Amino acid sequence: MKMLINVAETVVADALRGMAAAHPELTVDVENRVIVRRDAPFAGKVGLVSGGGSGHEPLHGGFVGRGMLAAACPGEVFTSPVPDQMVRAAAAVDSGAGVLFVVKNYTGDVLNFDMAVELAEDEGVQIAKVLVDDDVAVTDSLYTAGRRGTGATLFVEKIAGAAAEEGAPLERVEAIARRVNASSRSFGVALSACTTPAKGGPTFDLPPGELELGVGIHGEPGRERRAMMTSREIADFAVDAVLEDLKPSSPVLLLVNGMGATPLLELYGFNAEVHRVLAERRVPVARTLVGNYVTSLDMAGCSVTLCQADEELLRLWDAPVNTPALRWGC
């Protein structure tokens, strides 16, 4: 497999050096693997910290900035960051108002963030934690106990980040983040396997002419494999899987997300099909975001995330945001 890298061992460090060069508004600690808003901390404001394995860009480092995360901790490819990174990030963004950890439900992330909570609190930082577990495809997987955390992570970080930007106290920011997660569901589809730099080849076997319904963002198995389907057929299957579980009674936020190798030409066409299904199911769409946001290296495929949103969540979603990967209202 051809990859635009030097050697597998330095791929994350090289990417962080490039990020630092492109975004002077961020402080990128390459050695300690922490990305922080250069203007953090803000007196009286909660700091949001998240992180996870690299390979899901722009999640999480691309979401550091005004109205979203105060800091992010990138691990090695598909590997959780370590507690020291999280503690360092919390200390860097704590203004005295506390820090909220946003954690995707993967075993390594959960264990390391739990340890980081204890260490940070020992250093006098008030910490709250929210677990994101929105994937309806499977209950348990190779990486998790319970549902996996996927596309709803973006909704949680954006909406809770807006609340923090407004100066909401830690308890309020945490409650909003939990409400967003509880109101969100996702379903992913893989058309091809992803390739990690260390392996240099596909991480799982997906024969030509087949797709994986319900795939995880590390290539974990989903519900079933089928012969290749049309965009229309995939939209019917994925949206129905989400709606069966979510059963929304109010308008939704919609994320049509690419897995890393799916061009926007295909994603916008798929978005049209998702809107068709939602209209047929009489589910109004309040806002739509289309693009590669929660990815799996070079996997071809897509995911659908819906978040049932009331007026407060919509207001916070619309609030200004200025990060490398998400920007509006500024």
Question: Which residues carry out catalysis?
Answer: 56, 218
Residue 27 has a CB neighbour count (10 Å cut-off) of 17
> What is residue 291's three-state secondary structure?
strand
Question: What is the sign, positive or negative, of the torsion defined by CA atoms of 220, 221, 223, 225?
Answer: positive
- 93 alpha carbon, distance to own chain's centre: 20
Instruction: Report d(CA 275, CA 270) in Å as an integer.
Output: 9
Question: Are the CB atoms for 93 and 36 separated by under 8 Å?
Answer: yes
Q: Which of 87, 85, 45, 89 is nearest to 71 (CA)?
A: 89
Block residue for tokens 């390739």: 195
For residue 155, what is the enclosing H or E element?
A: helix 152-165
> What is residue 224's three-state secondary structure?
strand
Q: What is the dihedral of CA 256, 261, 266, 268, to 10 degrees?
A: 30
Interaxial angle between packed helices 264-280 and 231-246, expressed in degrees from 0 to 180 and rounded to the nearest 10: 50
Query: CA-based Rg of the chain, rounded to a whole angstrom?
Result: 19
> What is residue 174's three-state secondary structure?
helix
Tokens of residue 277, six digits: 């299904």
For residue 29, what is the enclosing H or E element?
A: strand 26-29
Question: Are the CB atoms for 134 and 177 separated by under 8 Å?
Answer: no
Phi/psi for 188 (5° steps) reads: -115, 155
